[in-house]
Structure 1
């Protein structure tokens, strides 16, 4: 319930005094919530001048009005409002924020966090190491991520120092999994997951200690963990493949050829790709699709062409496989969905590998759309922000004109026919 009489509150909340209260709120929030100083209003309307005259108890003339906040505070206290300026502002709007005090408190909290970091470093095996000063300076420059409380920041810094102390111990001989290390320090196996603040702090320290740049991609970050004998998760993410027949007599090459002989798809993990170079026969074109159903259909039909599936997004393990194949001379042909995300993914693959578009022209799109319409297949509306196709300037306009999205399954019979053709 308002502490202001209803009629008084209604008058004070009127539009003619809105600029006064807005300016007074800004001034009090910036000066320690003190009713001091003055406020100048310019281009004052006749209605504003009239209400300001009533509020201040004196006639006002001219297009500009200067209001002393201490006088306004006193006037409000002795008026029907019966409250000071701060109380009136909080009756008319949200509570005032003492921004000066908040800044001072934030500065004090930052100092406490920095002091805690320095104390943790001094008490750790890292004390005195040349790179530690640069690591600490970098942390001060980057600051604390938004939303992280000072208490959480202190705890995270302490955990980072603890992890680095373990990993960079010159007498350490044993390797460990990243999940195990995280659980031992944070209590959670996900405490050092890629992208977490703690993981970034530790990775920056590892990079500085080893005189290397902080990697910008997931593969580089995994390599950084391996540099200190920490095994990242390299088995949960997979890339779906079919028909890969690498040359060579190592067990992986033989296994892939045998699965291809039996028309069996293969899921390869990042771990599978660590120590192997999949060298396909010279001149091999690897087809790339977006949807697993294409792999399934190719296997059912006994397709003879090698096929790699992005499963809707070119995850790190997918790019790792394609990078490996590209480095050994493979060429690529790409097909994906005819929607805007599909074109964005196609652009990425085609740019990165110089892949040839595979049934991905404007003519291909219009043919499939016409066929679907003739077969009375329900149309899927095209939604989202348009994306231009780097390989065919006419594709995006054709898609926008028809407004129909076509998933890869719409071309499944044509793709399977291609994959069954002579390699």
Structure 2
């Protein structure tokens, strides 16, 4: 915001401009500018300049019309303002600094305007809330207060904040037409609900500000904790009769032969018998019964190439692929297999991200490391070197393997990253 205008004032004449821009006044103008911008552009208060050198003392003496002889000078801004008005400058302190440039910024006015905008956001939110069925519910007050204290909305520009909080209130009112946590009379697809709220089917996607606000409201309505991971977020959506997208992400499998008689289980067995891989969606896993004989050993790999090779080689052992990361759909399948009494063996890449993923899977399912110990790594690294395989160094911080304290030191010593394909022939032997 610029300072006061000077419609009736011409530019500074050359002599005044030359004097006011002399190096001895640079520190003064910098300090005055900072004070004026904090003071609403008003020339009030006192400045104290210390450690003055000779050119600064000379320039200040001439400007203030009084001798400045010591290393410190005290400058009253009202006096400096009056001095400039009576001098060849012919204008006050703020107008002079504007002329010297750059334009002044009224930071106090900006702060006041921002505070007024924040007040307007919350006023609009409260008005919107009171116009819905949510107005009488105690959880909505806590929801709004949590948003205010959390600062998430105040970090947005006012237009975005107002839009998002209004959309969140209308979405929650749609989900809780009676204001409480009873099931909504209709089920919604998340994309359909997002389109209704924002005009975009992706408006409630994971990670959006709107989805976080709505999920916080759902959690408070059901008196439950705010979800911290994707499976918990999906579960919370379902409590409000909202169905997340459960078909776009899949888990790659091979050789699963459940014992039940449903068409889904029959289809899995037939695909396994014909050595065909199967991609399962979350939607399928919600309704699929995975009854395998207790103690069935399921191998888990990281790279889809292992599944492809197992299918080509007509291997029969059950195999699940994490595809580089244990996403929600992968964990959902492994959880179901664990609940059915299956045991797991895990193999992944010999690099630090691979060890991180292996730690996660092995710890969660008490899985057996599958050719993932220090001797396995050393054998594969030696074999790769003898075969003339180009050296691929490890990158990133080392990660200790929870199942073998000797593995990380061995990897650091050889400094060789080995992807899962390096052990493909050995893995296929085990899958026979």
Partner of 1:59: 68
Confirm or deny: 8 A CA contact 1:335 1:346 kept in the other structure.
yes
Describe how 1:220-259 pairs up with structure 2 within 5 A.
220-259=232-271
Of 29, 34, 38, 1:30 maps to 38
Describe how 1:263-278 pairs up with structure 2 within 5 A.
263-278=275-290
Distance 1:356 1:97, change over 3 A: farther
Confirm or deny: 8 A CA contact 1:29 1:98 kept in the other structure.
yes
| Alpha-carbon separation, structure 2, partners of 1:363 and 1:409 | 17
**Which structure 2 segments of 5+ residues have no match?**
1-10, 62-66
Partner of 2:169: 161
Confirm or deny: 8 A CA contact 2:298 2:320 kept in the other structure.
yes
Partner of 1:126: 134
Distance 1:251 1:26, change over 3 A: farther
**1:41-94: CA deviations, max 9, x gaps?**
55x3xxx522321331243434x5544445566778899999976678779986
Partner of 2:193: 181
| Alpha-carbon separation, structure 2, partners of 1:76 and 1:335 | 79
Displacement of 1:296 in angstroms is 0.6
Describe how 1:189-200 pairs up with structure 2 within 5 A.
189-200=201-212
Partner of 2:352: 340
Distance 1:228 1:40, change over 3 A: same
Partner of 1:410: 422
**1:237-270: CA deviations, max 9, x gaps?**
1111111222322333222222211111111111
1:138 has 2:146 as partner = yes
Of 370, 374, 384, 2:386 maps to 374
Of 409, 424, 427, 1:397 maps to 409
Secondary structure of the residue aligned to 1:286 is strand
Of 118, 121, 139, 1:110 maps to 118
| Alpha-carbon separation, structure 1, partners of 2:238 and 2:227 | 13
1:100 has 2:94 as partner = no
TM-score by length of 2: 0.84
Structure of higher CA gyration radius: 2
Distance 1:238 1:50, change over 3 A: same
Distance 1:305 1:25, change over 3 A: farther
**1:111-154: CA deviations, max 9, x gaps?**
10111111111212222223222222222222344763211222
Distance 1:370 1:132, change over 3 A: same
Distance 1:320 1:26, change over 3 A: farther
Partner of 1:329: 341
**1:211-238: CA deviations, max 9, x gaps?**
3332222222222222222211000011
Secondary structure of the residue aligned to 2:53 is helix
**Which structure 1 segments of 5+ residues have no match?**
none
Describe how 1:12-27 pairs up with structure 2 within 5 A.
12=23, 23-27=31-35
Displacement of 1:297 in angstroms is 0.8
Deviates more, 1:205-214 or 1:25-34: 25-34
TM-score by length of 1: 0.85
| Alpha-carbon separation, structure 2, partners of 1:79 and 1:415 | 90
Distance 1:251 1:17, change over 3 A: same
Confirm or deny: 8 A CA contact 1:49 1:60 kept in the other structure.
no
| Alpha-carbon separation, structure 1, partners of 2:129 and 2:365 | 45
1:211 has 2:215 as partner = no
Partner of 1:281: 293
Displacement of 1:193 in angstroms is 1.0
Confirm or deny: 8 A CA contact 2:362 2:368 kept in the other structure.
yes
Deviates more, 1:265-274 or 1:21-30: 21-30
| Alpha-carbon separation, structure 2, partners of 1:243 and 1:37 | 81
Displacement of 1:17 in angstroms is 5.3
Partner of 2:54: 50
Displacement of 1:364 in angstroms is 2.3
Confirm or deny: 8 A CA contact 2:253 2:277 kept in the other structure.
yes
| Alpha-carbon separation, structure 1, partners of 2:19 and 2:358 | 65
| Alpha-carbon separation, structure 1, partners of 2:13 and 2:242 | 65
**1:184-234: CA deviations, max 9, x gaps?**
221100011122111122222222223333222222222222222221100
Alpha-carbon RMSD across the aligned residues, in angstroms, is 3.2
Deviates more, 1:138-147 or 1:377-386: 138-147
